[in-house]
Amino acid sequence: MSLAPASTAVVIGLSAVVVAIEGGEAVVLTVRPKDSDLESLPFGPFDPGGHRTFELAMRAFVTEQTRFDLGYVEQLYTFGDKGRDAPLADMGEGSPAARVISVGYLALAPKAVDTHAPDSQWRPWSRFFPYEDWRAGRPPALEIIEPALRRWTERGADAPQRLARARLAFALDGAPWNEERVLERYELLYEAGLAPEAARDRGEAPLPPELRAALGEAMFSDHRRILATAVSRLRGKIKYRPVVFELMPEAFTLSALQRAVEAIAGVPLHKQNFRRALERAELVEGLGRIDAETGGRPAELFRFREELLSARPVSGLSLPLLRD
């Protein structure tokens, strides 16, 4: 008589990537789980008996852990894969025997409000992905990552395919940089054993300190993978939907708007062409008031024409790169 295999418990973990703009930087809200030396996104397990919907449960977790009430929210992605090339999802105490299905959400906030919650803080997402910030040119982190990545591409029977993937993802050998491939880059680094989480999950020796610094700070569980998904989504979405205005106050200068877009996209924009594109899209209008607190020359304040959303289809923002 054969015995049926024991079933594996399944836990649905809900995580929130809460993004704001602070001081011209894209920042994300993090917490520090109990007994962990790594930061995480606000998260918690879905309770089918106590939670009516995934989103309501996720909102409750964020408020409970950070004292922050969410506004704009959208579901990102569901990760359920398991294997050597997938970051290990972990819900903390009591979950190692369970299979964790990770459901990520993206939330946008017009201000990085101080939450006053213990072990909660706003962190620049460039701390977790330093190689993603091209605003000042090719990031120095890539000069450290590239040799290690090339060594990985030279191993194995699929070496040519590995090199082709690395070239496209990391703009090697003159290939163009695509800012939207954040998740692809992180997953490639994990597969190559170059993400700190890969060494942790596989029980391997930690990477050298200089390489670890270039690769960015590790996060608890699979949260850096979820964060990479959010950055990819937001970088793509600002081009076809006006979601960047969810990150802006009611009144803003055009310079502040450009800095916010550059912080999200991670690339420098051509000032005059950016403003011409704004004029053509008719997304903003002047308020007839001056912001004298810019620290330099006084600038006119603008607002997002939110009424357009119900009047006609509204696209996102053009990203005229500085090099163009």
CATH number of the domain at 115, please.
3.90.79.10
| Structure-model confidence comparison of residues 138 and 97, the more confident one | 138
Query: Do 172 and 211 fall into the same domain?
Result: yes
Judged against a pLDDT cut of 80, whether residue 149 lies above it is answered with: yes
Query: Do 112 and 73 fall into the same domain?
Result: yes
Give this prediction's pTM: 0.92
Contact 82, 99 (CB under 8 A): yes
Domain residues for 51?
Answer: 10-127
State the Cα–Cα distance between residues 221 and 211, nearest whole angstrom: 21
Domain tally for the chain? 3
State the Cα–Cα distance between residues 252 and 28, nearest whole angstrom: 21
Judged against a pLDDT cut of 90, whether residue 58 lies above it is answered with: yes
State the Cα–Cα distance between residues 316 and 211, nearest whole angstrom: 36
On whether residue 304 sits in a domain, the answer given is: yes
Query: What average pLDDT does range 227-251 have in this prediction?
Result: 95
Residue position matching structure tokens 């011409």: 276
What type of residue is 3? L
Residue 157 carries which DSSP code?
T
Domain-ending residue, one of 102, 127, 152: 127
Domain-ending residue, one of 127, 159, 194: 127
Residue 19's alpha-carbon distances to 46, 184, 185, in angstroms, are 22, 20, 20
3-state DSSP call for residue 142?
helix
CATH for 277: 1.10.10.10
State the Cα–Cα distance between residues 100 and 34, nearest whole angstrom: 18
Judged against a pLDDT cut of 50, whether residue 1 lies above it is answered with: no
**Residue of 77, 68, 76 whose CA lies nearest to 30:** 68
Query: Do 38 and 119 fall into the same domain?
Result: yes
Query: Do 23 and 54 fall into the same domain?
Result: yes
Going by pLDDT thresholds of 50, 70 and 90, the confidence category of residue 97 is low
On whether residue 29 sits in a domain, the answer given is: yes
State the Cα–Cα distance between residues 9 and 260, nearest whole angstrom: 43
Between vectors from CA 219 to CA 151 and to CA 23, what angle results, nearest 5°?
A: 105
